[in-house]
Amino acid sequence: MQSDIFGQPISLTTPVAIEAWNETMMGFLAHAAATPRHLATVLGEAPNFAMGYAVKGLFYLLLGRRELLETAREAMDAAWVAKRRIGVDQREVLYVDALAAWMAGQPNGSIAAMEQVLDLYPQDTLAMKLSQAIRFVLGDADGMRWSVERVLPTYQPDHAGRGYLLGCYAFALEETGDYDRARIAGRQALWLAPNDAWGLHAVAHVHDMTCNARAGLDWLAGREAAWAHCNNFRYHVWWHKALMHLDLCQIDEVIALYDTEIRKDKTDDYRDISNATSLLVRLELDGVDVGDRWEELADLSADRTEDGCLIFADLHSQTPRR
Ligand SMILES: [Fe+2]
């Protein structure tokens, strides 16, 4: 059996499929916009790769958009067909189980499946990241920390996912209030994985929570390449930078970031709407006239009020029409 970039057994057989799968996993860890393209290459090359369909479905569920539930269901069906057709090992079955659990309305079951993978394969960085991602949308900060801490000692210094693991550790430490260690872990993460936007973001959170906007701006300055490759997550990092400027009453910088980065693309992803609305509210509370910037957010949000498939998204994406 072949191995992936993390040394885990993988049922893929061709070099093209394995390379694309490695890029898919590394892309997901880096929040890269290119991740779906890599996964499409994998499934084009290996149409019986059940684990690939399972991960595709989980990615779609994490987006919290109702129209993508059907796409996730199709991915689950494809995973089941592939699993029956060629059979898969225990690790890959657990990924299919994770998708099935969430599709049945039990994201905690998905987490449990990922933790079962980590029981058997603690150096499976993809399972670690998926566990953190699902715990994140469920608000399980203690679980995020526990999940990382139990696999951390098994990672050798040359493990390809070690930087991203430390980035996830930094975020879990920050979310559980251990700010000094979070800052150190995040810096180590970026040193090992310069495109680890999640680790960079964890340190930004530390500076936010400790009310040190100047240190936060110093941290982000010159590190733009760490989030330039990202999917919608890049807007969120820019949002953090805008908050730092707002703390320093640098309103012109906030408005400029809003117009040129945070709302550069008029997207309706709940995270993007949340970034924008929470920034406009803060500006208005400070007495700033934000002009007609609410209007496009209200129009986009009006079409998303019935999503109702991810409570984390629902609570973040409601924008009142004014
Ligand atoms: Fe954040």
- C-alpha span between 204 and 9 (Å, rounded): 36
Predicted local confidence at residue 317, as pLDDT: 62
Residue type, position 277, single letter: T
1-153 and 161-228 share one fold: yes
Does 161-228 carry CATH code 1.10.150?
A: no
User: What average pLDDT does this structure show over 208-221?
Assistant: 98
Task: Pick the closest to residue 79 from 62, 106, 112, 103 (CA basis).
Answer: 103
Predicted local confidence at residue 6, as pLDDT: 98
User: What average pLDDT does this structure show over 222-242?
Assistant: 97
Residue 79 Cα to ligand 1 midpoint, Å, equals 33
- C-alpha span between 204 and 210 (Å, rounded): 10
Task: Pick the closest to residue 55 from 138, 157, 133 (CA basis).
Answer: 133
Tell me: the pLDDT tens digits for 114-135? 999 999 999 999 999 999 999 9
Q: How confident is the model at residue 318 (pLDDT cuts 50, 70, 90)?
A: low
Residue 208 Cα to ligand 1 midpoint, Å, equals 9
Give the CATH architecture of domain 1-153: Alpha Horseshoe (1.25)
* Residue 136 structure tokens: 């994140």
Rounded mean pLDDT of the chain? 95
Share of the chain above pLDDT 70, in %: 98
In angstroms, how far is CA 49 from the centroid of its own chain? Answer: 23
Tell me: the pLDDT tens digits for 24-49? 999 999 999 999 999 999 999 999 99
In angstroms, how far is CA 223 from the centroid of its own chain? Answer: 19
Q: How confident is the model at residue 321 (pLDDT cuts 50, 70, 90)?
A: very low
Task: Pick the closest to residue 126 from 51, 73, 45 (CA basis).
Answer: 51
Contact 110, 58 (CB under 8 A): yes
User: What average pLDDT does this structure show over 310-320?
Assistant: 69
Residue 87 Cα to ligand 1 midpoint, Å, equals 40
Predicted local confidence at residue 322, as pLDDT: 36
User: What average pLDDT does this structure show over 158-166?
Assistant: 98
Residue 123 Cα to ligand 1 midpoint, Å, equals 26
- C-alpha span between 319 and 322 (Å, rounded): 9
Tell me: the pLDDT tens digits for 48-91? 999 999 999 999 999 988 889 999 999 999 999 998 877 678 99
Residue 36 Cα to ligand 1 midpoint, Å, equals 23
The residue extents of the domains of the chain are 1-153, 161-228, 232-322
Residue 37 Cα to ligand 1 midpoint, Å, equals 25
Position 319 pLDDT exceeds 60: no
| 172: enclosing H helix or E strand | helix 162-175
User: What average pLDDT does this structure show over 95-116?
Assistant: 97
Residue 203 Cα to ligand 1 midpoint, Å, equals 10
Predicted local confidence at residue 312, as pLDDT: 82
| 312: enclosing H helix or E strand | helix 311-316
For residue 3, list its beta bridge partners. 9
* Residue 25 structure tokens: 């996993």
Contact 176, 141 (CB under 8 A): yes
Residue 169 Cα to ligand 1 midpoint, Å, equals 15
Position 314 pLDDT exceeds 80: no
- C-alpha span between 186 and 45 (Å, rounded): 36
Tell me: the pLDDT tens digits for 249-266? 999 999 999 999 999 999
